[in-house]
Chains A and B, each alone.
Chain A
Amino acid sequence: MIRGMLISLMLGVVAACGALQTAQAPVGVQTVSDARNTIYAVKGAYGVTIRGATEYIRLPACEKPAAPKLCSSRAVVVQMGKARDAAKLTIDSAEEVVLNATGASTVLSAAVDAAKSAQASFKGIVDIYGSK
């Protein structure tokens, strides 16, 4: 029960991050300014997701004898690590593209879209453990 509430709390934060991205991202990035705003929001959402994931990882291990109700699964932790690595690589690359852009382009739009997708995937890992 308590574990479920904690998961709900974390999901709430991550869901709000999703709303953040949606609110900040126009349909199809048209300008460098728009792209900068979106990448900034995505990076911030990624940071908040990292914080939530870290708190989960620091919970006592579920695999230990007499594990408390609030615990972290090793399998989920491993998935979180992989998802974080993928998200970081994509978001950092997109940020570099956007910060060095001189004008609107399809590459700019693609970079922003990739960053948003990467953050969404990272968020998905939290959804996985939330369903257990």
Chain B
Amino acid sequence: MGAIIAIVSQLMTLVPKLVDLGMDVAPIISKARAAVDQIGTQVSPDDAEFKALDTTVKAWEDDFDAALAKRLGE
């Protein structure tokens, strides 16, 4: 997937600018990169690969829900 490479490339282009501004971008970048890496590069995914992606996305959804609940509860 060329687009996966495009995502990483986009991140790498912006990171130096953020660092120059003195911002600690490590947590954001590492999580974004991990997310991209976990998508995988399969062109013709089989059922097992769909299941693996579903499991990964489900974990991200749970994380999103937890963050949302905490933020709206403040």
Contact = CB atoms under 8 A, between A and B. Distances in A.
Interface string B43-74: 11101011001101100110110011001101
Contact residue range for chain B? 35 or more
B18 A2 contact: yes
B68 A77 contact: yes
Contacts of B50: 36, 40, 43, 95, 99
A77 B72 contact: yes
Contact residue range for chain A? 35 or more
Contact of B10 (A13, A74, A77): A13
Contacts of B71: 57-58, 61, 72, 74, 77
A9 B6 contact: no
B72 A40 contact: no
B56 A47 contact: yes
A25 B44 CA distance: 13
B21 interface: yes
B23 A5 contact: yes
A130 interface: no
Given A19-B6, A33-B44, 13 more contacts: A1-B21, A2-B23, A5-B21, A5-B23, A12-B13, A19-B3, A44-B39, A50-B57, A54-B67, A57-B68, A58-B67, A61-B74, A78-B72
Interface of A: 1-2, 5-6, 8-9, 12-13, 15-17, 19-20, 23-24, 33, 36-37, 40-41, 43-44, 46-48, 50-55, 57-58, 61, 70, 72, 74, 77-78, 80-81, 84, 88, 95, 99
